[in-house]
Amino acid sequence: MGNPKESGLIVGVDLAGSERRPTGIALLGRTLSTKTVHAEEEILDACRGAGLVAIDAPLSLPRKGGLRKGDRELIRMGYRVFPPLFSRMRMLTRRGMGLAAKLRREGIRVIEIHPRTSGLILFGTEDRRLWLRKLARLGVKRTASEHELDAALAALTGKLYLEGKTRKVGNIVIPLKARA
């Protein structure tokens, strides 16, 4: 697929903690499409050739305590996040860190995003049905699963990142302001 660093493809990944659970994938180039996968190799295949992969999963551990700097800051801003070492999040955090390391070794740029925060900022509401209606205009099918919806938000946040329309809160990339 050419040099990944020159690719216009942005991949959003709503990563599951294990292969038994569904992972949402969104491919954003000239169009936006989504799908659900399970196996690690399916995720890697979807990401190969991308210029940027935006992952919904913690990609780092706290230096001390249960929260990272970005987690604490997002909570102070009124957004809800789960700590990377919270019981249900440990497996996801390990899997996210491993996936990011593999992609970076292939020369693919990787960022961490939080789709719920992105959705609230971009659409000004917690109503996921509204998010889906707005994303349907970009090509997301109205029957998209919650994982595909979150992957689409990850890809859109990745696009905004490349356009300089985001900011980093710790290691987490969030949109600057609402677009809706």
- Three-state secondary structure readout of the chain: CCCHHHCCCEEEEECCCCCCCCEEEEEECCCEEEEEECCHHHHHHHHCCCCEEEEECCCCCCCCCCCCHHHHHHHHCCCCCCCCCCHHHHHHHHHHHHHHHHHHHCCCEEEEECHHHHHHHHHCCCCHHHHHHHHHCCCCCCCCCHHHHHHHHHHHHHHHHHCCCEEEECCEEEECCCCC
- pLDDT tens profile 95-150: 999 999 999 999 999 999 999 999 999 999 999 999 999 999 888 888 899 999 99
CATH 3.30.420.10: does it fit domain 4-175? yes
The model carries a pTM of: 0.92
- pLDDT tens profile 7-54: 789 999 999 999 999 999 999 999 999 999 999 999 999 999 999 999
